[in-house]
Copies of this chain bind each other. A is one copy, B any other.
Amino acid sequence: MSAIRLLVLGAVRQHGRAHGYQVRNDLEYWGAHEWSNAKPGSIYHALKQMAKQGLLHAHEIAPSTVGGPPRTEYEITEAGTQEYLALLREALAARERTIDVLSAAIGFMVDLERAEVVSLLRERLRRLAEWRGAVTEHYVPVGGPEKLGHIGEIMNMWVHAADGEAAWTRGLIERIEGGAYTFAGEGEPFVGVLAEGVENPYATGDSHPGDIR
């Protein structure tokens, strides 16, 4: 799974109704162009594709207000909401290799309820542990580990990565159980999109740091 569908669905959903450029702006606001494949082409493609699949409803808008090319506004459908929640849950629980899907999922996690997020993160821990076991047990050749030579460093790296991720996940669980943040059904949600007409303080300025991706 790439992060793009999750990001686009999440953006459209928070707006209620949004056209491609708005989505694109939100993703830039979130810094997604730095840590995911959120290029214009991918975003517009994802919108069209998901409209074709019935996850979004496309409204053709007359090219009225500012001129320029005709715009299409999208609205999330019931099927789209289901898909969004499914992607989000899977992203939180999966032992993902890429940081982009997990980043997106953390950004959207407050769309779920507190208890569910905790249980998804626990599932993540379980899968990390399972994988760690599989790597250490399964990839050791018959003649003992020393037969592996430098190849053993690959497994070492994986185990290291799994341990690091697990530690971070445990920390996050603790903070969430400790009452941090505001989740679904707990009142005033966190506002994560740009209001129309507000400038983006995190825009892709020249001063921005080395390519984060």
A contact residues vs B (CB 8 Å cutoff): 31, 35, 97-100, 102-103, 106-107, 109-110, 127, 130-131, 133-135, 137-139, 141-142, 149-151, 153-154, 156-158, 160-161, 163-165, 167-168, 172, 175, 180-182, 190, 192, 201-202, 208-210, 212-213
Residues on B with C-beta less than 8 A from A172 are: 153
Closest approach, in angstroms, between the C-beta of A176 and any C-beta of chain B?
9
Residues of B within 8 A of A109 (CB): 150
- Please tell me if the beta carbons of A212 and B149 are within 8 angstroms of each other in the complex: no
Per the bound structure, the CA–CA distance linking A152 and B120 in Å amounts to 19
> Do the beta carbons of A192 and B102 come within 8 Å of each other?
no
* Known contacts A107-B151, A151-B192: A210-B102 contact under CB 8 Å: no
B141/A201 in contact, CB under 8 A = yes
Q: A131-B209, A157-B102 are in contact. Are A35 and B97 (CB under 8 A)?
A: yes
The A interface is mostly helix, strand or loop, or mixed, namely helix
Q: How far is the CB of A13 from chain B (nearest CB, A)?
A: 17
A134 touches B209 (CB 8 A): yes
- Give the chain B neighbours of A103 by CB distance below 8 A: 154, 157-158
Q: In the docked arrangement, what's the CA distance between A157 and B209, Å?
A: 17
Task: Check A127 against B210 for contact (C-beta < 8 Å).
Answer: yes
Provide the bound-state CA to CA distance between A41 and B42, in Å: 22
Cβ contacts under 8 Å, A35 to chain B: 97, 158
**Interfacial chain B residues near A149, Cβ < 8 Å:** 181-182, 190
Closest to A131 in B: B210
User: Bound state CA distance, A182 and B181, in angstroms?
Assistant: 51
The reply to whether B161 and A130 contact each other, CB–CB distance below 8 Å, is no
CB pair B208 A138 closer than 8 Å? yes
